[in-house]
Amino acid sequence: MALLDRISRRRKPPQPLVKHDQIPPAFRLQAQMILQDALGRDEYGRQQRLIEELGRMLYREIPTPSFELQRVGSWIRGNITAPDVLYQYVAVGNTDECLDAIELGFRAINGEMRERWNKSQHDRKSYLHWHGAKLTPDEATEELNVRFADHGLGYRFSVEAHQLIRSDSQYMQQEVVELAWRLLHELGFDGPAEEFAHAHRCFRRGGAKDLEDAITNAAKAVESTAKAICAQRRWKHDRGATLKPLLKLLFDKGLVPTRLDSFFAGLRTALESGLPPIRNSQGGHGQGAKPREIDDHVVELALNLGASSIVFLCQAHRAMK
């Protein structure tokens, strides 16, 4: 089901992706409809059981939400079925509750539902019929991210990261960040992938301590990527080696062809001097007597540098024979 090409959207100027703390009612309704169309409702009750389990998981994590749960199944109270729990968190929960519900639903859509979609060999008609759905996982994810953009909300669901991530105007999401995740997973670098994902989770939460942790984990992800490459190639290094000596080892071992040394000399300097100073000055030490304020654009720089560095290292690793 393609998005409707309507004149009001074509005439509407692009929304700046800067809002993170207010989820408008119109978006909530659209997100709920996307979830319903993607999760479906089949005659055998399989989809209902999946949605009910998502509701249970959400209620277990947030048992005292900011709103009064209405008429939910017998496992809480009332007379209607548990699947409504998931959608109530989307419709009337606070910002975090709404986003948590959307993320949980889309993890199922891009997890269990995507597995079924792949097993159907992407036979759209058959897949939608058997699941009582109206959207495939790809269609649902694409529409959700378009709706985020339509409302100027700085989030998107990343299939590669399997989570909601911040998506600001200066934040290189679709290209470099997604590619970084894909390369880490394809190469089996689970440690760096988790550190990079944790950096994004911290950035999404947005608290002062979270932003510090985002910078720290972005730098750790680059260091861990370098260590993972060394481990796969059995290149020995000091156990506590930091980014600078690790990069020296990778370059000395010829990860970058000799004929390109002069070209990549500047890149090596950027890698060595980019993330570590940000980490050391902003996120690597105690903050002192007064809470330290970190601007979002500084964190964006750290995450962008981290993503670019990971992509470069992984691609160089793949290209090296």
The answer to whether 313 touches 222, Cβ cutoff 8 Å, is yes
Pick the residue with more confidence: 180 or 77?
180
Give the confidence band of 226 by pLDDT, cuts at 50, 70, 90: very high
Q: How far apart are alpha carbons 61 and 81 in whole angstroms?
A: 19
In this predicted model, which residue has the larger pLDDT, 31 or 52?
A: 31
Give the C-alpha distances (Å, rounded to integers) separating 141 from 52, 53, 148, 258, 277.
Answer: 21, 21, 11, 43, 36
**Residue ranges covered by each domain of the chain:** 15-159, 172-319
Average per-residue pLDDT in the chain? 82
Q: What is the pLDDT of residues 4-35, one digit of tens each?
A: 766 665 555 545 444 667 899 999 999 999 99
CA distances (Å), origin 191, targets 66, 167, 216, 218: 35, 23, 14, 12
pLDDT value at position 142?
A: 93
pLDDT at residue 228 greater than cutoff 90: yes
Q: Are 180 and 55 in contact (CB under 8 A)?
A: no
Inform me whether the pLDDT recorded for 162 exceeds 60.
yes
pLDDT confidence tier of residue 200, bands split at 50, 70 and 90: confident
Instruction: Output the pTM of the full model.
Output: 0.67
